[in-house]
């Protein structure tokens, strides 16, 4: 029988984006570092945006790696004629929205009226909780408008003019669960090291995510990245014209965060590009995008790498990441 070691040292852990972000949030608020573990789940709202208590989740936030221009206040659109349907907020509401978008099947050939009818049918069947009884029509309107709003993003982004409603079921993978390995705890890799790499990758000035990269590289993110990292990507879309052997994929995440206040005169202004940059940073969504992008990169390497020439980069197949803030998608 082997001797029991006098000192047992942990070399392995199971973690997720949410776990990493929560540990960093505790370190930022308490001034000390902590370690934890858990499954990927929505980070509780603890932001400096106008999100109201209880919120767990316009213009969607579209990210084309390395190509996002700085947001300009002068370029903000006129939103004075837009309204946002009054709807509940919180984790339960967000879960229902995700359930609907997971099973909803639309196609670019559908007429808008048919799409809205199909959304209303699905919403009526799934939004049955008591707190949703008076909100079914408004909920269906929010989902339909989100499906019909172009993603926007950088001028050269191949997905700029596409919408969630433009993808057939064959070109969409909903709720892609993943579990990927990282180094041992003895490797000493921390989340702040990701921030340091991101800082080097981004331009030092003018990039919307530069400030977040600096934050991610700070001491609060002295959180180990080791063992297994798990999560679930809301949707993976294959861009029109790409093939199974050479796909162009778009990573998508749906957010139901309520960024506007109940009494805002122009509620859609809370979802303007500059405001979304702040909301993304508040909830650590850039870190989430990096984790999800790494998972997709590894999946592509595994599925396609054997058929590709030496030196092939799976990143060539990743067109970008879209964060759709559903309440404000009124394009």
Whether residue 51 is predicted with pLDDT greater than 80 in this model: the reply is no
| Cβ within 8 Å of residue 21, ≥6 positions away | 43, 283, 284, 287, 288
CATH fold for the domain made of 14-25+52-328: Lambda Exonuclease; Chain A (3.90.320)
The answer on pLDDT for 69 being more than 50 is no
Indicate the length of the chain as a whole number.
331
Residues 6+ apart with CB under 8 A from 222: 27, 33, 190, 191, 192
Give 183-241 as a DSSP string.
Answer: --GGG--BHHHHHHHHHHHS-SSS-TTHHHHHHHTSGGG--B--SEEEEEEEEEEEPTT
18-27: which pairs have CB atoms within 8 A and are 24 or more residues apart?
A: 18/42, 18/43, 20/191, 20/221, 20/223, 20/225, 20/287, 21/283, 21/284, 21/287, 21/288, 23/223, 24/191, 24/220, 24/221, 24/223, 24/284, 25/220, 27/219, 27/220, 27/221, 27/222, 27/223
Within 8 A by CB and 6+ apart from 243, the residues are none
- Segment 13-41, tens digit of pLDDT: 788 899 888 988 898 886 544 443 333 34
What number is the average pLDDT over the span 107-120?
93
Beta-carbon count within 10 A of 229 CB: 22
pLDDT for position 204: 67
| Predicted pLDDT at 196 | 93
199-223: pLDDT as tens digits? 988 876 678 899 999 999 999 999 8
Please give the model's pTM, rounded to 2 decimal places: 0.83
Say how far apart CA 319 and CA 331 lie, in whole Å.
Answer: 22
Indicate the pairing of strand 228-238 with strand 172-181. antiparallel
């Amino acid at each position: 029988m082997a001797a029991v070691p006098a000192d047992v040292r942990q070399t392995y852990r199971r973690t997720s984006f949410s776990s990493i972000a929560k540990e960093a949030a505790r370190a930022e608020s308490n001034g000390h570092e902590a370690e934890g573990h858990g499954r990927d789940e929505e980070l509780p709202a603890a932001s400096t945006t106008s999100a109201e208590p209880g919120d767990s989740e316009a213009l969607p936030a579209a990210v084309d790696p390395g190509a996002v221009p700085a947001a300009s206040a002068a370029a903000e659109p006129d939103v004075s004629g837009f309204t946002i349907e009054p709807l509940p907020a919180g984790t339960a509401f967000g879960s229902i929205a995700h359930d609907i978008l997971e099973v909803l099947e639309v196609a670019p050939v559908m007429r808008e009226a048919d799409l809205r009818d199909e959304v209303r049918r699905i919403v009526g069947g799934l939004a049955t909780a008591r707190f949703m009884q008076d909100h079914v029509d408004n909920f269906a309107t929010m989902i339909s408008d989100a499906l019909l709003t172009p993603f926007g993003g950088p001028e050269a982004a191949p997905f700029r003019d596409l919408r969630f409603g433009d993808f057939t079921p064959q070109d969409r993978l909903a709720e892609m669960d993943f579990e990927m390995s990282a180094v041992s705890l003895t490797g000493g890799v921390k989340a702040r090291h990701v921030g340091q790499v991101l800082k080097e990758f981004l331009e030092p000035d003018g990039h919307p995510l530069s400030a977040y990269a600096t934050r991610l590289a700070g001491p609060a993110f002295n959180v180990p990245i080791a063992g297994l990292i798990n999560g679930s990507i809301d949707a993976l879309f294959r861009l029109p014209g790409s093939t199974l052997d050479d796909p162009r994929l778009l990573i998508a995440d749906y957010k139901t965060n309520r960024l506007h206040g109940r009494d805002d005169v122009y509620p859609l202004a809370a979802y303007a590009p500059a405001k979304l940059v702040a909301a993304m940073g508040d909830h650590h969504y850039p870190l989430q995008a990096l984790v999800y992008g790494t998972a997709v990169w590894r999946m592509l390497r595994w599925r396609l790498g054997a058929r590709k020439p030496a030196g092939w980069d799976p990143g060539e197949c990743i067109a970008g990441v879209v964060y759709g803030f559903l309440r404000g998608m009124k394009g």
